Amino acid sequence: MKTLQKYLSEFVYGGIDGCVTTFAVVSGAVGANLETSVILILGFANLFADGFSMSVGAFLSEKSKKRLYQKHKRAEQFEVKHKPQEGTQEIRELYIKKGFEGELLDQIVEKITANDQLWVDEMMSGELELQKEEKSSGLVGTATFVSFILVGFIPLLVYVFDFFFDSSLPLFFLSSLFAGVGFLVVGFLKAFITEENRVKSMIETLFLGGSAAAIAYYLGYFLEKIFVN
């Protein structure tokens, strides 16, 4: 449970991108009056290619953050070991900015500089404003990919059903309805991450997804008129 909560942000943003991107592809294909089989080909190709691309990007971004942190940490460790006076002064200035002074300031500086690990950590967080990344780069990429695929599949669900059972359902209407529910759910989850109003987050996500789909639909419609008719 804690692991799920830890990677909730990756799951939510991967899901938002997955649903927006795939629904936009479906909308553009419907606007261009393409058949169900073509919609599925475009939808699934986009779903897995973009999902993989986004997960790789998330993985590399997390790796870069960790490398940056370690690079600065080595620099601070060198300063603590070889330039202790400069490091002590930096701690002092840091706590002066926080409002400490006099004997209390001296005690804080002495306490921090007596422990090299605490000293380095304080300089990393206080001076450089860098926090150690606790997340696994691999799990960040995996959570992004899985959520992209799962939530991104929602707009394609009715087209898969129609392909196998040759239904007479209003496919695009149902796809839009399902995608809308998907947007509302991930918007609700996003509110937990951003600590914003839940209703506002849900409406915002729904609006952004709908706007992307509308643009894709009419673009597909006009391109079909230009290149096919």
Question: Quick one: tokens of 181?
Answer: 């529910």
pLDDT at residue number 87: 85
Q: How far apart are CA 154 and CA 144, in angstroms?
A: 16
pTM over 0.85: no
Question: Quick one: pLDDT band at residue 2, thresholds 50, 70, 90?
Answer: low
Beta-carbon contacts of 195 under 8 Å, excluding residues fewer than 6 positions away, are none
pLDDT exceeds 80 at position 1: no
Greatest C-alpha distance within the chain: 84
Q: What is the dihedral of CA 183, 186, 188, 189, to 10 degrees?
A: 180
Give the model's pLDDT for residue 76.
87
pLDDT in the model for residue 123: 85
State in Å, rounded, how far the first CA of the chain is from the last one. 55
Per-residue pLDDT, averaged over 189-206, amounts to 90
> What are the residues whose beta carbons fall under 8 Å from the beta carbon of 192, sequence distance 6 or more?
8
- Mean of the per-residue pLDDT values of the chain: 90
Closest CA to 220 of 46, 35, 43, 31: 31
Q: What percent of the chain has pLDDT over 90?
A: 54
Q: What is the pLDDT of residues 94-119, one digit of tens each?
A: 889 888 888 898 898 899 888 888 88
Amino acid 68: pLDDT:
87
Q: How far is Cα 55 from Cα 142, in angstroms, rounded to an integer?
A: 7
Reported as a pLDDT band with limits 50, 70 and 90, residue 150 is very high
pLDDT in tens, 26-81: 999 999 999 999 999 999 999 999 999 999 999 999 899 888 888 988 888 898 88
What is the rounded average pLDDT of the residues 166-177? Answer: 92
Model confidence over 4-35: pLDDT tens digits? 667 888 989 999 999 999 999 999 999 999 99
**Residue 38, both tokens:** 């073509």
Q: How many residues does the chain have?
A: 229
Identify the pLDDT of residue 214.
95
